[in-house]
Structure 1
Amino acid sequence: MAIVILRDLLGPVLLLAAAWIMPSVAKPTVPFGVRVPADRTHDPLITEQRRIYRWWIGTTGSALVLAGLVLSLLVQQVLVPVIIVAALLGVIAPGYLHARLTIRSVKQREGWFQGKRQVAVTDTARHTEPPRFPWLWALPAVLILAATVVYGVVRYPDMPATLLLHFTGAGQPDRTAAKSIGSAFGVVFLQAGLTVLLLAMAYALPRLKPDLDPTRPRRSANQNRRFASGMARTMLLVAACVNLSLAFASWQIWRGATSLAAFPIVLPTLVGAAGLLVFGLRYGQVGNNLPTDEEPANDATERDDDRFWKLGLLYVNCADHAILVPKRFGIGWTLNLGNPIAIGGFVVFLAACLVLPMLAR
């Protein structure tokens, strides 16, 4: 019973914790996705909106988690966490949008950027002196993938003639396939694809376009470099966790399991997500929580680029050649949907997600 409750509530609790701490992770000059001048980051309005948002998330979100606890006790279904997560998203979204719209409307009405010297700065060192790829941090993900492949090859002759490939919400099999390379190693193909993708992202992160503070450019660039390097290492650890989850899923298929044990599959991935959350809280988005050498502030301010951010979450700027840009509310980077290369890459990724599962049929 304790394992069932942990399985059903660990994911929703992590989501609730992430939503609650996100205002502390976000860059101070983009509260709830709204760009504000540096001298407005401690404005009473922004402080009040953070308080209201957290009160809303804390009370309603906790009530939903408790309701999920009761639901998991009454109905032992693997879809319970999915239902709770969907309900939590229905609570988080209006809380975020209310805070965002309130701050943005006051900012526009009072002209917070009026008379400000808006400046954009960049860090050329990310191209001329890029950090080394952390190969040792990549080893766990690669070794888990290699071990999964070796075990599968050795196990293949003794696998059942019919493999169970899909399970219902109750964990019971509802689709089978005759043993073949595709059906037996479909999850491994997915595992390999995700490993390559996450390793490529870890390599690219320190070279992506930074979001620097022109009031203290050197200090901001230092924080951004440290954040990108730390994020690359964390991404590699997440890759290892995801590989462990998929390895266990393959193992259940290969041994001919008659029912799905979902918790051991999702647990490593949830641990990786928790590690990413801890990293974000410690570092802050783009490294704004990291201590560094102080630098006297100048009279510049960041550009008011809210027009390129839809809801503060989606970035659309056809004039910007960057494929990925730092998120405004969250940890990491997001696609520039105004860049054709970014859109094409996203379409290819979606196509791969659809094609790879078909290999298992």
Structure 2
Amino acid sequence: MTSSVYLDLVLVALLAAGFWAAPALARPTLPFGVRVPAARVAEPEIVRAHRRYARGVLVVGTLAFVLVAFASGGLRWEPAAAFAAPVLAAACCGLGYQAHRTVAAAKRSGDWYSGTRQAVATDTSLRTDPVRPQWIFLAPAAVLFAITAAIGAWHYGDLPATLPTPNGMTVDSALRGATTVGRAFATVTAQLLSIVLVALLGIALPRARPELDAAQPAASAARYRNYLGGVLRLLFGTAGCVAASLLVASLEVWEIVPATTGATVVSYLPLACAVVAWVAFAFRVGDAGHRLPAAEEDSGRVQRDDDRYWHLAGMVYANRGDPALLVHRRSGVAWTLNLGHPISWALLAALAVFAALAGFGVVELPSRGG
């Protein structure tokens, strides 16, 4: 098998492992995106939904792995992973949605919120004294970007008439295209875009609505602070890892370093380190920091049942009465737009216009091909 086949297999395995582990990282009171009282987290329906989901992901993940190995290694059909990955993701999402419906139905039939005291917790200090991004952690990414740009500018005049084509972090020396500024500096542009995106997230995330628990309002606020600080540091560090990987890919594109399997492995190492760091962080702190220690007696209240504002198994949030633009998603280390906010639709409209312009060729996007 070639190195690209092994990378495809690793991609499929990581994707399946991520879906398999996702429910374990979620808050216990949000199984499969359904809000339940803490006293109900061990209900038999929830336990069975977890087991069925885990078995389903293992089955479809194994099938996808075997099919990619056979198609890519045996039949030499290189696009196998490009088809298998989205199909695997769709299948796992379908399993998750089925589990969501099972838990939601059990919640309705059992009237799990009957007799509870529902409440919403707020902490104004997260607004008056927000978590401040430690921008120094973004410095390595900026330095690596400057180094890469300087090397590219220095060697641009000596570049050959054609250049290898980058495909992610893999550079295909057999697939070449005419040397242009856009092609020569495509990886440098990717570095800059990643830094800008991470910087924007560093500004936006501390302004998102904090995820607090009415049962332990003070403790959950402290946990969320620590969680958000860790997320921002990891984001900035990930930007540095991306910049390091793109530096290696740039050297391959400019043929300063041969585009070999060894170079490909080196280019993916920083990204692998970032993935390991994120996984370790997610397992240590949990979704929204719920695994972090914090001592506080239970207030006797439960978080308000707000399922009516969440759709697609807790992935989409729409609440016109909520002034927050960004809210923490119900699963994963991620935030989402409040589709009940008019600015969200303005942002989505801008993206749609950009996509349409790119589709009609008005805006030129980097090509993966020749």
TM-score exceeds 0.5: yes
C-alpha distance in 1 between matches for 2:348 and 2:269: 27
Task: After superposition, give the CA deviation of every residue in 1:10-67 in whole Å (9 maximum; x if it has no partner).
Answer: 2222111111111111111111011111221222221221121112112331232233
Corresponding residue of 2:327: 325
In 2, Cα distance between the equivalents of 1:347 and 1:195? 24
Distance 1:8 1:36 in 2: 38
Q: Which moved more, 1:275-284 or 1:27-36?
A: 275-284
Match in the other structure for 2:99: 99
Provide, for residues 207-238 of structure 1, a one-character-per-residue CA deviation record: whole Å limited to 9, x for no partner: 32112110111111111111111111111122
Question: How far apart are residue 279 of structure 1 and its match?
Answer: 1.5
Amino acid at match of 2:3: I
- Distance in 1, Cα, partners of 2:86 & 2:260: 22
Task: Note if contact 1:184-1:254 (Cα within 8 Å) is conserved in structure 2.
Answer: yes
Could you tell me how far apart the structure 2 residues matched to 1:156 and 1:172 are? 18
In 2: Cα distance, 1:79 partner to 1:341 partner: 38
Q: Which residue identity is paired with 1:196?
A: V
Q: Percent identity?
A: 33
Q: Confirm whether residue 251 of structure 1 aligns to residue 266 of structure 2.
A: no
Question: Are 2:175 and 1:213 equivalent residues in the alignment?
Answer: no
Deviation at 1:173, TM superposition (A): 6.2
Equivalent residue number for residue 307 of structure 1 = 308
**C-alpha deviation, 1:332, in angstroms:** 1.9
Retained in 2: the 8 A contact 1:159–1:256? no
Number of aligned pairs?
A: 359
Residue 344 of structure 1 and its aligned partner are, at CA, apart by 2.9
CA distance in 1, matches of 2:208, 2:167: 40
Q: CA deviation at 1:345?
A: 3.1
Paired amino acid for 1:254: W
Unaligned runs of 5+ in 1: none
Counterparts of 1:116-265 in structure 2, within 5 Å, are: 116-165=116-165, 171=172, 176-180=177-181, 182-255=182-255
29-38 or 187-196: bigger deviation: 187-196
Structure 1 distance, partners of 2:347, 2:281, is 27
Give the CA deviation at 1:7: 1.1
Q: Structure 1, residues 56-81: CA drift from partner, whole Å, max 9, x if none?
A: 11233123223323333224455333
Q: Look up the SS of the partner of 1:85 in the other structure.
A: helix
CA contact (8 A) 1:315 1:335 kept: yes
Residues 26, 286 of structure 2: 8 Å contact kept: yes
Residues 275 and 82 (structure 1), Cα distance of their counterparts in 2 relative to 1, 3 Å cut: farther
Q: Report the Cα distance in structure 1 between the residues aligned to 2:128 and 2:45, rounded to whole angstroms.
A: 41
8 Å contact from structure 2 (residues 117, 301) kept in 1: yes
- How far off is 1:328 after superposition? 1.1
Pair 243,340 (structure 1): closer, same or farther in 2 beyond 3 Å: farther
Q: Secondary structure at the match of 2:153?
A: helix
- Of stretches 114-123 and 322-331 in structure 1, the one that deviates more from structure 2 is 114-123
C-alpha distance 117-231 of structure 1, shift in aligned 2 (>3 A):
same
Summarize deviations over 1:177-236 as a string: whole Å, max 9, x none.
4423x3322332232122111122134333321121101111111111111111111111
AA partner of residue 103 (structure 1): V
The residue type paired with residue 302 of structure 1 is: Q
Structure-1 residue corresponding to 2:29: 29
Instruction: Supply the distance in 1 between the matched residues of 2:278 and 2:77 (Cα, whole angstroms).
Output: 27
Query: SS of the residue aligned with 2:160?
Result: coil
> What secondary structure sits across from 2:82 in the alignment?
helix
Q: Does 1:45 align with 2:45?
A: yes
Structure 2 CA distance for partners of 1:165 and 1:257, relative to 1, 3 Å: farther
**TM-score under structure 1 length normalisation:** 0.87
SS of residue paired to 1:299: coil
Contact preservation (8 Å) 2:164, 2:173: no
Instruction: Give secondary structure in 1 for the equivalent of 2:229.
Output: helix
Partner of 2:277: 275
CA distance in 2, matches of 1:66, 1:107: 38
The reply to whether residue 357 of structure 1 matches residue 365 of structure 2 is yes
Q: Which residue of 1 aligns with 2:297?
A: 296
Matched, 1:336 2:338: yes
Give the gaps of 5 or more residues in structure 2: none
Q: 2:37 touches 2:112 (CA, 8 Å); kept in 1?
A: yes
Rounded to whole Å, the distance in 2 between the matches of 1:334 and 1:289 is 21
Q: Check 1:123–1:78 CA distance in 2 against 1; reply closer, same or farther (3 A cut).
A: farther
Query: Quick one: structure 1 residues 330 and 318, their matched pair in 2 at CA, closer, same or farther if it must change by over 3 Å?
Result: same
Letter in 2 for 1:301: V
Aligned to 2:61: 61
Q: CA RMSD in A?
A: 3.1
Q: Any conservation in 1 of the 2:164–2:171 contact (CA below 8 Å)?
A: no
The 3-state SS of whatever aligns with 1:209 is coil
AA in 1 matched with 2:303 = E
Give the distance between the partners of 2:33 and 2:56, measured in 1 at CA. 18
Structure 1 residues 253 and 349: alpha-carbon distance in aligned structure 2, compared to 1, 3 A threshold:
farther
Distance, in Å, in 2 between the alignment partners of 1:348 and 1:251 is 35
